Structure 1
C-alpha cells in the first residue's frame, strides 16, 4: 500500500494546511470543510493530517454508507440470550483517534451529515435501539470536501462545520510545475521521497504534538471572547456557534505558535476560516431557512356571504383514552 504523501511536502495551500493543523490540535473545533473544484489535492491534504496524530488512522466514509454502518449496530438476539447488548462497531468507532474523511459531503443525506457533525462536536457516539443503548468515545478530526458545482449544503449544516476553507483558482505556473514534479518523484520512489522530507515532516508532527500538550494551559479569557463577540456581531452571523468555534480555534492557534495566551494575531488568523460560511451578506435574511417558510397568515376574517373557507372542517369530538400520535500559515517565532 502506498504511504500517504507528507503534508510538509505539499506545495502552497498554506491556509488550508493551517486550518487542518488547528483541527488536529483541537478536534473539538468541529471539523474542516474544504470547498473547491476537482483536482486540488483535497484528499492528499486530508490524508497528510492523519500522520500528525498519535494514532495515524485515516478512515474514509463511503457515499452510500447506511446509518447503521456509520454508527454501528446492537445485536438484539445477543441481548436477549446473554442479558447484555452486543455492539458491532461502525465507521465512527474505527475513526476514533484519527481522521474521518468525507468526500463530497454535500451529496450525503442531510440527516447523516447532521449525525457526523454531532459526534465530531461531542466526541461520543451513542447507539440506541429498542430500549438498548451503547456509547463509546469517537474523537476524530472530521474533514469534509465539496465541489460547489455539484450542489450546496444547507446553511444549517454549513454552520455546524467549525472551519471552512475555500480553495481559489489554479496555482501559478511555477507552483503547478513544482506540484507535478514532487508528485512524479513520490510516485516513482515513495520511500526515497519520504526520506527526503522526513525532517520537515517530523518537525511538523512534533509541533502539533507540543501544541496539543500546551492547549489545556491556555485560558479561554474574557478579553479574547469580547473581541471575538464584537467581530461576530459586526459580521451579522446567526447564533453563537461562530463565537465558540472562533475562541477555541484562536486558543489552538496560540498553542500552535507557542504562546501562553490568546493574542490579537490568533483572533485575526481564524477570522477567514470562521466567517467564510457564516458571514451574512447585506440584504440577506437572518436565517436562510426562513426563506422556505410560508408567509404568515393574514388575520382571520369572516367569510363573505355565500363563501366558505377552503379546507375548513367542523370540530370533531375526540374520545378520551390513550394519547394519539401527532401526525502561510504562521511561521514559528
Structure 2
C-alpha cells in the first residue's frame, strides 16, 4: 500500500490507488499521512480560484490539499453548482466550487468507495483522468483544472466495485490484518507512544520522513529522464498478454508505474525487477476470474513472471 501511494505521488498520471482490505488496517491513516508529509504546493496551482478574484502571491504556498468525499455527497456537492445565494441576492450567476475544485493539486480520498453511487464514481474517474472539471448548470458553464490523486478504500465484504470502474483505478492493493505476533505488538507500541507523547513520537520519525520526502521530490524531478527500452516495453506487454489483462490500460499503467519506481530509486532506466515489483499493483484488478482457476490474481501474475523469466 505504501509503495502504491508513493508511486502515485511521483506520477499522478498513474491514475490513483484503490485499497481493499480489512477494517482498522490503517488505510485512511496511510493516505492522510502521505498528504501531510508532502511539501507545500504553490497556492496558484492548488484549490480553485474564481474569476475576478485577486491572484495568490507569486511565492505563496499552501499545504497539499486533502479532501474527504462523504458517501452521501450529491453530484452538485462534488462537481460544483450555481451559487444560489448570489444568484438570488445580487442577481448574478456565480460558480460555487465543489469538492473536485478543493482537491486540485492534492488528494481526493473516498472511504468505502464500493458503497458510493456508480455514476459519482464514474464522474470522479473521468475528471481524474482528464485533469479538468466541466460544469454545465442553469445556463452556467465553467471549466476549471482538477488535477488530484484519487484514492479509494473499501471492505470487500460490503460489496465489490464494478469491474469496469475498478479497472479505471491505476493501482490496486489488498491489505490484510497482520497475522504475526511481532508486527501486532509493534503496532500497539507505536500507537501507544503516539497517544502518550505525540511530539516526541514525531521527533523520532522526523529523519525517516525527511528521507521519504527527498525520495519523492527526487522521483518527481527525475521521472522525465527515466528510459524504458523496447525490450522492457515488450516484457510489460508480454506479461499483460500472458495473464489475459483486458484492453491496453493495464500495460500503460504498468509502464508508468515501472518508470515511477525507477525514478523513486534514482535510476535512469527501467529494469525487469521494476516491472516485476509493480505488476501485481497494476494488473491484479484487471484479470478475468477463471471458473476453474482458484488461484488469486497476484499468484497468477507471479506465475506468469516466472514463466517469462525462464523463457
| TM category, shorter | 0.7 to 0.9
- 1:115 is matched with which residue: 101, 108, 123? 123
For 1:212-231, what aligned pairs fall within 5 Å after superposition? Answer: 212-219=220-227, 221-231=229-239
* Mapped contact 2:7–2:261 kept (Cα < 8 A): yes
CA distance in 2, matches of 1:273, 1:105: 18
1:25 alignment counterpart: 10
* Mapped contact 2:79–2:135 kept (Cα < 8 A): yes
Between Structure 1 and Structure 2, how many residues are aligned? 269
SS at match of 2:151: strand
SS at match of 2:167: helix
TM-score by length of 1: 0.76
2:208 alignment counterpart: 200
* Mapped contact 1:186–1:193 kept (Cα < 8 A): yes
CA distance 1:82–1:249, change in 2 (3 Å): farther
Structure 1 residue 237 displacement after superposition? 1.3
Structure 1 residue 101 displacement after superposition? 1.0
TM-score by length of 2: 0.81
SS at match of 2:71: coil
CA distance in 2, matches of 1:80, 1:234: 60
CA distance in 1, matches of 2:77, 2:228: 37
Structure 1 residue 137 displacement after superposition? 1.5
| 1:184 paired to 2:169 | no
For 1:258-277, what aligned pairs fall within 5 Å after superposition? Answer: 258-277=266-285
Structure 1 residue 132 displacement after superposition? 3.4
- 1:244 is matched with which residue: 252, 255, 260? 252
1:41 alignment counterpart: 26
| CA distances 1:134-191 after superposition (whole Å, capped 9, x unpaired) | 1211111211101011011111011011100011343311110110110111111211
Structure 1 residue 130 displacement after superposition? 4.2
* Mapped contact 1:37–1:147 kept (Cα < 8 A): yes
Structure 1 residue 221 displacement after superposition? 4.5
Q: Structure 1: state its 5+ residue gaps.
A: 1-15, 285-333
| CA distances 1:18-51 after superposition (whole Å, capped 9, x unpaired) | 1110011111111111111111111111111103
CA distance in 1, matches of 2:93, 2:275: 46
Runs of 4+ off more than 4 Å = 75-85
- 2:111 is matched with which residue: 90, 103, 124? 103
For 1:135-146, what aligned pairs fall within 5 Å after superposition? Answer: 135-146=143-154
CA distance 1:225–1:193, change in 2 (3 Å): same
* Mapped contact 1:78–1:86 kept (Cα < 8 A): yes
- 1:70 is matched with which residue: 47, 64, 78? 78
More helix by share: 2
